[in-house]
Chains A and B, each alone.
Chain A
Amino acid sequence: NAGVIQTPRHKVTGKGQEATLWCEPISGHSAVFWYRQTIVQGLEFLTYFRNQAPIDDSGMPKERFSAQMPNQSHSTLKIQSTQPQDSAVYLCASSLDRGRYAEQFFGPGTRLTVL
């Protein structure tokens, strides 16, 4: 079975440009998560969808960041007017999200570099 798929694997943008990151969760998983990883902050939660509905976006920066899940097979994270501090690895994870099946499985990540 394919794991979580993320595209692109690497993205370079200029300051002020928009970046859209894509995630395809594991088939049958009802929960999708976005995290960000930097050397300084480590792994930080951004947002979470269950059955495509946004449930928790407590980690999302209030400006410039948005996430959507238009169907069960993909989610997008969009960053408008990218800034150098947005440079990070953005990780998508999915989970069955049912009691004993609580593990989240991570994709390979998208490394975003903002010049």
Chain B
Amino acid sequence: AQKVTQTQTSISVMEKTTVTMDCVYETQDSSYFLFWYKQTASGEIVFLIRQDSYKKENATVGHYSLNFQKPKSSIGLIITATQIEDSAVYFCAMRGLTGNTRKLIFGLGTTLQVQP
């Protein structure tokens, strides 16, 4: 069975610093996609960044980057130069590439609070 675990319930950081959010996953699929989404206070869920399991290079988009450690089944999200607007709940998700399913398996989320 596939599973995604985010052990950090909440994190508080000062503005303009760097934060890392942890995520570990379990899957029997040999290839898979890993995603990070952000849910704002209004409830909007926004796609941030994706890592393909067969790529060794860590994905980077703007001030978001990933720390992909495949042997550890770990995909950390790194946010550099944090801004107040980065305060949100961050979800890690996984999608296998076996069979017909395209469903995302989500972790329970990490709440990030960025303090001025």
Q: Identify the A interface with B (CB < 8 A).
A: 31, 33, 35, 42-45, 48, 50, 55-56, 58-59, 89, 91, 95, 97, 102-106, 108-109
Contact = CB atoms under 8 A, between A and B. Distances in A.
Nearest to A50: B102
Contact of A45 (B42, B44, B105): B105
A48 B102 contact: yes
Contact of A33 (B33, B47, B103): B103
DSSP class of A's interface residues: helix, strand, loop or mixed?
strand
A43 B102 contact: no
B112 to A, nearest CB: 17
Given A31-B102, A55-B101, A91 B45 contact: yes
5 contacts: A42-B106, A42-B107, A59-B103, A106-B47, A109-B43
* Size range of the chain B interface in the assembly: 20 to 34
A91 B93 CA distance: 15
A97 B102 contact: yes
Given A56-B101, A89-B43, A102 B50 contact: yes
A48 B101 contact: yes
B51 to A, nearest CB: 11
B44 A108 contact: yes
Contact of A56 (B50, B93, B102): B102
Contacts of A33: 102-104
